[in-house]
Chains A and B, each alone.
Chain A
Amino acid sequence: GESVGLHLPTLSVQEGDNSIINCAYSNSASDYFIWYKQESGKGPQFIIDIRSNMDKRQGQRVTVLLNKTVKHLSLQIAATQPGDSAVYFCADLSGGSYIPTFGRGTSLIVHP
């Protein structure tokens, strides 16, 4: 079946580096994508979203890039801080659906 997946389960970076977390999707009808951050023992927290009519969206220290040609989504975190250590999930919705499909998540570890 079609699903949203992540390339890397764990990403280790040094404090101050830029981090890139990737996500692949296979549903060509996907038109809305969301990134969530989940810290240990907490629920997911919305970070940023993007619709399929855009290829880039920026937030505070975060940028989401969408490549519809290869069905790839990435989350870039600038100047990564120890507080960014968490599991990051992408989620996908399509065609007006309100039921998202979540990937397994990537664990980001930031070393001081």
Chain B
Amino acid sequence: GAGVSQSPSNKVTEKGKDVELRCDPISGHTALYWYRQRLGQGLEFLIYFQGNSAPDKSGLPSDRFSAERTGESVSTLTIQRTQQEDSAVYLCASSPAIMTDTQYFGPGTRLTVL
């Protein structure tokens, strides 16, 4: 069966440009998370979607970051006016319900802002 997929796998962009990252969760998983992982660091929570409930955006670092998810399907994370400090691996995870269910992570998108 297919796992969580993310695209693109790598993205190099210039400072000031907008980028859009995509996550395809496992079919049927209602919960979806976005994390940021800087080099040599742990995972930093960004945003959480659960079914049709309002997302928890408490981890988004600035208003340049936004994310959308339609129902229980694909999610996109958008970073506007990218800065060099946005360079990181962005990971998406899905789970059948809530955090206490096993999370399944995608391979991540490595974003490099020049």
Residue ranges of A at the interface with B (Cβ–Cβ < 8 Å): 4, 32, 41-46, 49, 89, 91, 93, 97-105
Contacts and interface: CB of A to CB of B under 8 A. Distances in A.
Contact of B105 (A43, A49, A101, A103): A43
Q: How large is the interface on B (under 10, 10 to 19, 20 to 34, 35 or more residues)?
A: 20 to 34
Interface of B: 4, 31, 40-45, 48, 50, 56, 58-59, 91, 93, 98-100, 102-108
Nearest to B6: A43
A102 B43 contact: yes
Contacts of B50: 98
A101 B44 CA distance: 8
Given A49-B102, A102-B42, 16 more contacts: A41-B107, A42-B108, A43-B93, A43-B106, A43-B107, A44-B43, A46-B102, A46-B103, A46-B104, A98-B31, A98-B50, A98-B99, A99-B48, A99-B59, A104-B40, A105-B41
B42 A43 contact: no
A41 B109 CA distance: 10
A24 to B, nearest CB: 14
Contact of B41 (A32, A46, A104): A104
Nearest to A99: B45
A99 B58 contact: yes
12 contacts: A4-B42, A42-B107, A43-B93, A44-B93, A46-B103, A89-B42, A93-B100, A99-B99, A102-B42, A102-B44, A105-B40, A105-B42
A41 B106 CA distance: 10
Contacts of A43: 4, 91, 93, 105-108
A62 to B, nearest CB: 15
A2 to B, nearest CB: 14
B42 A103 contact: yes
Given A43-B108, A44-B105, A99-B48, A104 B58 contact: no
Contact of B45 (A42, A45, A100, A104): A100
A46 B50 CA distance: 20
